[in-house]
Structure 1
Amino acid sequence: MAVRPLCAPGDLDLRRPLPGRPAAAQRVTAVAATAGLSRVAVATAAPWFPGLAELLVLTPGEDAPPLRLPMARRPQGAVVRDMVFSSDDAALTVSLGGSEEQQLGQVAHFALRPRPVERWRRSLSRPVYAGFSECGGLRLAVSGDGRVVAGCDQSSRSVLAWSAADGSRLVDGAAEPPRVGGSEAIAVDGEGSRLAFRLCRPYERAPDGGIAVLTPDSGALSVLPTGLDWCAGLAFAPNGALLVVLGTAGGAAQAVFLDPARQPADAVVERRRLAALPAEAAQQTARPVWGAAGPRAALRADRTVTVWDLAAGEPLCSVSDLGRSTAWALTPDGRALVVASPAEVRGHDLG
């Protein structure tokens, strides 16, 4: 398996290190990459000093310093929780969050061509009830055509979607009626006409591992049972005919293929068992991708991340010895795994 360095030494160093502290970032909170690794986005953080968090866009193969995008609009700073590129590499959407003391929940959308500019920024809602995880955490998804950005706000447990062009709200899961509740795992089809997400409302989980499929234009909402104990992530096929759900059941990772056009009782068309997972990895969140190479996903177990071919139910590669300060992501075409630590960023070719 070929491994490619994606940044030069020192590229991830903080521009404003504190006296007596190293310039190296202490943690990588998120990473994203484009197909072909033409761009890689890396979010770094310095614990206890959120104002030092940075968002960098690298262009591997070009002799150019990292592009640093603005994040915080308030003195206390912000930390990137998730981010995703558009399919044409022209835009980057970022989820910004804070802590219990610094409740900063925002979504920022950057256009990268012809020159980097922030197109819009939207605030997220407050937590439904106190003490639930970190404030402002949002898992993101983008449609294949790049025109729709969606997310599940884990604080308010609501599903949201925006127009990538101007940030106008397309879906407001917190609106009444009806309330559309989801948590973390979300996907958008190629045209942005359907959203799929882990169905979840405050104090309530969907029975039988139910996955919701929402059509924003009509407001139609269907619930498809998967038999999973936990949904880690979802991805639509490029043609939208199938939906793969990655999750766990009976202590093992599974991939369930659904046909959203069928009746709920007949929606499951295939099921693949991947591998047993330790208890601490049973409820992780991942972002499966479905490109020309088929559906793939990267799952963590202990300090190892393994990339799986979900259609075949077989592992493709594993990267071990990863620490808590490391982030990883698959490219949208599933042909490379990007692993980012405070010192380096590497691309692992998957073929």
Structure 2
Amino acid sequence: MAVRQLCAPGDLDLRRPLPGRPAAAQRVTAVAATSGLSRVAVATSAPWFPGLAELMVLAPDEGGPPLRLPMARRPRGAVVRDLLFSRGGRALTVSLGGSEEQQLGQLAHFTLEPTPVERWRRALSRPVYAAFGECGGLRLAVSGDGEVVAGCDQASRSVLAWSATDGSRLVDGAAEPPPVGGSEAVAVDTDGSRLAFRLCRPYERAPDGGVAVLTQDGGALRVLATGLDWCAGLVFAPDGTRLMVVGTADGTAEAVLLDPALPPGAEVVERRRLAALPAEAAHQTLRPVWGAAGPRAALRVDRTVTVWDLAGGGPLRSVSDLGRSTAWALTPDGRALVVASPAEIRGHDLG
């Protein structure tokens, strides 16, 4: 299968290297790409000086230097935790913060056409429960029509959603009684009317592997039993009728197809075993996609990422020799795996 180089040598170098330090970035914190690889977004950081972190958008078909988007509004800089394209690559949403340098996390939404501009920026909450760790770790999801941006705030363990148009809050899990508790794994359906997420209830036990579906109109919440020990990621079908969940059970990765319209106890439509996972890989978080080729997900074990066909239960391709400084993501159509290191970005064709 073909491998495509998506950037030229030196494209990811830092513009302001410190004296005695190389210009190469030290880590890629996040990467995203559009279907067809017409645009690629990549975030880099320099651990010795986070103010040198950069956010770039590349157009591999057009060539030329990357477009560098402003992140920080303070001298200390910012760290990108996640990013995601929407509206066919015409918009980019970025999760910032979650570090000692930027205690308060932020969400920034950019439109890239006709002129790149930051449309809005919103602050995330500080930790409500001190034991829950660092601030601002927001895992993103965007509706298929690009109208709704959502995420699970790691600081407050709350589910949040905004209008992509103006940044107005649509769902505020931290303010609703009782709180809607979620953790990292999150998905939004095509029209943004429903959110699905890994269930997390602060200070009380949540169902093992349980996922919840929240309807924005009316706030109805439905908890679905998956039979999993851990939910790693989930994605709605393009028509919104079903939900594919990837997780682990008894040390094995599994794909579980759910139908939220079925009565309690009958939600599981299909279950497929994928592969045995070592303990250190059992609790990863990932972002499955569901395009014309069906649902797919990329799971990492040690230094290898394998893309799985969740409908058929078989592996499609593995990419090995990945380091800690590497980020990867599937395109929305599931046709390519993008792997970004501090020196290069490669697109692996999946057919």
Alignment partners' CA distance in 1, 2:83 and 2:187: 13
Do 1:98 and 1:104's aligned partners in 2 also have CA atoms closer than 8 Å? yes
Partner residue of 2:218? 218
Aligned-pair CA distance for 1:101: 5.7
Do 1:199 and 1:205's aligned partners in 2 also have CA atoms closer than 8 Å? no
Does 2:326 match 1:322? Answer: no
Describe the superposition over 1:171-225 as per-residue Cα deviations: whole angstroms up to 9, x where unpaired: 0000042311100000000000100000102233421422100001111000000
Describe the superposition over 1:35-59 as per-residue Cα deviations: whole angstroms up to 9, x where unpaired: 0000000000000311000000000
Partner residue of 2:257? 257
> After superposition, where does 1:109-148 map in structure 2 within 5 Å?
109-148=109-148
Alignment partners' CA distance in 2, 1:134 and 1:208: 24
Name the % identity.
84
Aligned-pair CA distance for 1:100: 4.2
Describe the superposition over 1:260-315 as per-residue Cα deviations: whole angstroms up to 9, x where unpaired: 11112111000010001111110000000000000000000000000000000100
Partner residue of 1:19? 19
Structure 1 counterpart of 2:170, which letter?
A: L
Partner residue of 1:279? 279
Do 1:33 and 1:330's aligned partners in 2 also have CA atoms closer than 8 Å? yes
> After superposition, where does 1:147-158 map in structure 2 within 5 Å?
147-158=147-158
Alignment partners' CA distance in 2, 1:198 and 1:18: 41
Alignment partners' CA distance in 2, 1:287 and 1:205: 24
Structure 1 counterpart of 2:63, which letter?
A: D
Do 1:137 and 1:155's aligned partners in 2 also have CA atoms closer than 8 Å? yes
Does 2:308 match 1:308? Answer: yes
Partner residue of 1:93? 93
Structure 1 counterpart of 2:56, which letter?
A: L
Secondary structure (helix, strand or coil) at the match of 1:231 reads strand
> After superposition, where does 1:281-296 map in structure 2 within 5 Å?
281-296=281-296
Partner residue of 2:161? 161
Describe the superposition over 1:67-96 as per-residue Cα deviations: whole angstroms up to 9, x where unpaired: 000101112111000011004211000000
Alignment partners' CA distance in 1, 2:6 and 2:32: 12
Alignment partners' CA distance in 2, 1:104 and 1:317: 38
Q: C-alpha root-mean-square deviation of aligned residues, in Å?
A: 1.0
Structure 2 counterpart of 1:257, which letter?
A: L
Which deviates more, 278-287 or 174-183? 174-183
Partner residue of 1:348? 348
Partner residue of 2:297? 297
- Tell me which stretches of 4 or more aligned residues in structure 1 moved more than 6 Å: none
Secondary structure (helix, strand or coil) at the match of 1:88 reads helix
Alignment partners' CA distance in 1, 2:276 and 2:133: 26
5+ residue gaps, structure 1 = none
Do 2:54 and 2:71's aligned partners in 1 also have CA atoms closer than 8 Å? yes
Secondary structure (helix, strand or coil) at the match of 1:201 reads coil
5+ residue gaps, structure 2 = none
